[in-house]
Each structure stands twice: as structure tokens, then as C-alpha cells.
């Protein structure tokens, strides 16, 4: 007996509503190395409770919603678990969700989309063979759309790429004389450090490394370095000054190439699954041109710099019809939000 791909017409309105709630819960997570996943428990009396995966090392959506249901005293012996992605069947930082579902005594599972990761797939089959009623395909396209960029990165065997841009209202990342600290506010810089704390590596070009002498570390609200630190990566062939912070950091990886495709391939072999690209302008253009930008955080400061340096420099676009299109994204934070005096814009790129 295997997991059953079910005709959407065979799902009830309550099951559809519960999966919609799970999809909404998934958006409370973070984009990156892992997919956005949400889950819902649907009881016989129509009660719906939700959970979501909060990022690497945190409970998966199924475990999160089961924990919530237990806290609320919900009887799971007649409930249905709905999840936006097939329950995992492998041991990673957390245990297999298939075992958590079986241990909870849940008799029925519906998942929207099969897991394309060969290391984690097959959970539906395992649950069906254990005697649970397993169906799939409810809001399948919505689930795929939610994680379209993650799916593309995984299929391409490369890191998920987040780009950070901190710019003036007229699109400059530095004044004409090169000064750039600080265009954006402390609130924006704090948020950027939250993103740094979640990624595996941060990449800059040798131009940024030479002009700014950055540490590329992740700091908390108290200004202290966090326990988890991303790996600093420098793209380019120019030697770093021996006394620079990045040269003195033994974890710094210098990729002596200008080919971003070659760079991300190397980073993937090094175990990087979520890469944050922080510039400069030509590096950003190279990543956009290569089509390997998945997510953009743009910190927009309320100032004008006139003849400053463009935030993205080198895109070969001569007409409006060739523009690269982005879509506002409301996962993690509202698609448009305030950070002190700045405006934060959160985008995903078109697939």
C-alpha cells in the first residue's frame, strides 16, 4: 500500500481550509537552506491548529503542530494532520517526522507536495505502510509556488542565494568619494545581522574587502559576536592585505575567480547551503545576470547621494522588456516594513 495521490475534488472543504492554514503558517518561517513548511491539525469538530518550521535545528512543522495540539489537550486519535510538504523520513538535526506522527497516534495524513530531496523523501510511503491513511496533492501548486526558488536551487545543486542591498533613495550604495558608513540605520543593520546569523556563508568581492575591511560576522543586539558564525567568502583574484580582518580569519575562503557559477559550485561542495551576497555593485550584477539570486532584502534609506555608486552596476539591460522582475514576499517579515527611518523591501526573484 502506498501514499495515494488524490483527486482534489475528493478533499473536503474543511481539509482545504486546514491546508490553506498550513500554507499561511509556513510563511512565518525563513527562506534559506530549508523549504518553508507549515502543518495543521484538523479535528472531528472542525478545530484547526497550526505550526511551522522555524529554521535549521528547530522542530519541523509536524512536530511543532503536534506539540501545540498536546498543549491544548486535543485528542489526536481521530485527527488529520495536513502538511505542505511530505513528512521527512530521515534523521537530520532533528528526528524523522514519520516517527513523530506515528508516536502521536494520528491516523490520517494529507500532504500537499512530495519531498524532492532524495535524502528525506518517502515519508508518505512509510506512513501508508504503517497503516495510516495517506493522501497527497491538496493545494499542490500553492505548495510548489511557495518554495519555487528553493526547489530550483536544490535541483541545480547550489546554495540558496540571498542578496542584501543597503542603498539611498536614488539607488546608491556609497557616495562619490566612496564613503558608505552608514547609509542605513542601526535598526536596518541589526536586522541584517539577524539574517547573517542564519546563513552558512557571506560573500563579498575583493573591492568591498579592500575598501571596507569588513569582518563579515554575525552580532547580536548587544554588539557581541554570536555563537554561530557564517563563513566569510571573498570572490576575486586580488590579494587581501595581510593585516585585514578577513586575511587574519582562518575561516575566510577566497575564491580566486570572477565566475559566479564556478563560485557557487565550489561553495556547494564546501557544504554551503545558504549564501548571503553583500556586494559590491558588480558582484550583485554578476549574480543577477547568472540567474542565481533567490531572495533580496533591500534596505532603503531616506537620503539622496547624487553622483554616488549604483547599488547594482553592470546589468546588460537596454530596454524595459528585458528587465529582471522581482516579486514582493511576505515570508518572515511584511513585504514592505519600517526599520527606524528606513524602509525594508523583501523580494523573491522570478523562476
**219-262 tens-digit pLDDT:** 998 889 998 899 999 999 999 999 999 999 999 999 999 999 99
Contact 164, 183 (CB under 8 A): no
Regarding whether 193 and 63 lie in a shared domain, the answer is: no
- Sign, CA dihedral 141-145-148-151, equals negative
Regarding whether 259 and 220 lie in a shared domain, the answer is: yes
Axis-axis angle for helices 281-290, 260-269 (nearest 10): 80
Q: Which domain holds residue 334?
A: 153-349
Regarding whether 160 and 83 lie in a shared domain, the answer is: no
CA 329 – CA 334 distance, rounded (Å): 7
Where residue 350 falls among pLDDT bands split at 50, 70, 90? confident
The predicted model gives 99-106 an average pLDDT of: 94
Regarding whether 188 and 130 lie in a shared domain, the answer is: no
Regarding whether 189 and 320 lie in a shared domain, the answer is: yes
| CA angle, 101 then 103 then 109, to 5° | 25
Axis-axis angle for helices 97-104, 61-71 (nearest 10): 20
**15-60 tens-digit pLDDT:** 999 999 999 999 999 999 999 999 999 999 999 999 999 887 789 9
Look at residue 5 in the predicted model and tell me its pLDDT: 53
CA-to-CA dists, residue 323 to 127, 287, 289, 319, angstroms: 46, 15, 11, 7
Regarding whether 21 and 70 lie in a shared domain, the answer is: yes
**68-93 tens-digit pLDDT:** 999 999 999 999 999 999 998 866 66
Task: Indicate whether 281 pLDDT > 60.
Answer: yes
Regarding whether 157 and 142 lie in a shared domain, the answer is: no
Look at residue 1 in the predicted model and tell me its pLDDT: 38
Tell me how far apart the terminal alpha carbons of the chain are, to the nearest angstrom.
35
CA 128 – CA 170 distance, rounded (Å): 57
Q: In the listed set 115, 146, 177, which residue is the last one of a domain according to the structure?
A: 146
CA 255 – CA 247 distance, rounded (Å): 13
- Give the other-Cβ count within 10 Å of 105's Cβ: 12
**314-344 tens-digit pLDDT:** 899 999 999 999 999 998 889 999 999 999 9
Task: Indicate whether 63 pLDDT > 50.
Answer: yes
Q: In the listed set 124, 146, 168, which residue is the last one of a domain according to the structure?
A: 146
- Give the other-Cβ count within 10 Å of 337's Cβ: 13
Question: Which CATH number goes with the domain that contains 40?
Answer: 3.40.140.10
| pLDDT mean across residues, the chain | 92
Regarding whether 94 and 227 lie in a shared domain, the answer is: no
Question: Which CATH number goes with the domain that contains 231?
Answer: 3.40.430.10
**113-166 tens-digit pLDDT:** 998 877 767 889 999 999 999 999 999 999 999 999 999 999 999 999 999 999
How far, in whole angstroms, is CA 273 from its chain's centroid? 10
Look at residue 55 in the predicted model and tell me its pLDDT: 82
Regarding whether 158 and 124 lie in a shared domain, the answer is: no
Regarding whether 318 and 195 lie in a shared domain, the answer is: yes
Task: Indicate whether 99 pLDDT > 70.
Answer: yes
Number of domains in the chain: 2
Regarding whether 223 and 96 lie in a shared domain, the answer is: no
Q: Is the peptide bond before 286 cis (omega within 30 degrees of 0)?
A: no
Regarding whether 118 and 103 lie in a shared domain, the answer is: yes
Nearest alpha carbon to residue 278 among 210, 185, 204, 218:
204
Tell me the pairing of strands 231-235 and 326-328. Answer: unpaired
Q: In the listed set 108, 127, 146, which residue is the last one of a domain according to the structure?
A: 146
Q: Which residues are catalytic?
A: 62
Amino acid at each position: 500500500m502506498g501514499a495515494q495521490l488524490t483527486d482534489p475534488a475528493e478533499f473536503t472543504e474543511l481539509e482545504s481550509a486546514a491546508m490553506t492554514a498550513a500554507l499561511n503558517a509556513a510563511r512565518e518561517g525563513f527562506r534559506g537552506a530549508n523549504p518553508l513548511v507549515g502543518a495543521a491539525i484538523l479535528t472531528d469538530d472542525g478545530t484547526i491548529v497550526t505550526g511551522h518550521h522555524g529554521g535549521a535545528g528547530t522542530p519541523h512543522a509536524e512536530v511543532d503542530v503536534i506539540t501545540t495540539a498536546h498543549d491544548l489537550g486535543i485528542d489526536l486519535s481521530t485527527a488529520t494532520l495536513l502538511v505542505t510538504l511530505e513528512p521527512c523520513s530521515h534523521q537530520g538535526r532533528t528526528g524523522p517526522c514519520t516517527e513523530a506522527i506515528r508516536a502521536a497516534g494520528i491516523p490520517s495524513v494529507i500532504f500537499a507536495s512530495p519531498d524532492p530531496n532524495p535524502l528525506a523523501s518517502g515519508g508518505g510511503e512509510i506512513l501508508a505502510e504503517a497503516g495510516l491513511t495517506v493522501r497527497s496533492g491538496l493545494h499542490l501548486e500553492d505548495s510548489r509556488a511557495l518554495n519555487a526558488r528553493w526547489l530550483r536551487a536544490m535541483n541545480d545543486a547550489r546554495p540558496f542565494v540571498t542578496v542584501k542591498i543597503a542603498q539611498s533613495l536614488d539607488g546608491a550604495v556609497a557616495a562619490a568619494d566612496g564613503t558608505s558608513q552608514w547609509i542605513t540605520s542601526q535598526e536596518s543593520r541589526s536586522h541584517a545581522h539577524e539574517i547573517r546569523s542564519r546563513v552558512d556563508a557571506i560573500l563579498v568581492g575583493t573591492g568591498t574587502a579592500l575598501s571596507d575591511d569588513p569582518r563579515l560576522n554575525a552580532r547580536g543586539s548587544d554588539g557581541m559576536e554570536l555563537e554561530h558564525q557564517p563563513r566569510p567568502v571573498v570572490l576575486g583574484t586580488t590579494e587581501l592585505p595581510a593585516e585585514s580582518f578577513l586575511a587574519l580569519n582562518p575561516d575566510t575562503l577566497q575564491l580566486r575567480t570572477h565566475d559566479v557559477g564556478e563560485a557557487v559550485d565550489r561553495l556547494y561542495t564546501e557544504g554551503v547551503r545558504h549564501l548571503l551576497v553583500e556586494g559590491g555593485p558588480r558582484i550583485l550584477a554578476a549574480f543577477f545576470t547568472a540567474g542565481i539570486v533567490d531572495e533580496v532584502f533591500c534596505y532603503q534609506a531616506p537620503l539622496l547621494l547624487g553622483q554616488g555608486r549604483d547599488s547594482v552596476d553592470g546589468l546588460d539591460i537596454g530596454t524595459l522588456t528585458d528587465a529582471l522582475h522581482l516579486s514582493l514576499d511576505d515570508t518572515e517579515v511584511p513585504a514592505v516594513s519600517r526599520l527606524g527611518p528606513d524602509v525594508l523591501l523583501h523580494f523573491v526573484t522570478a523562476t
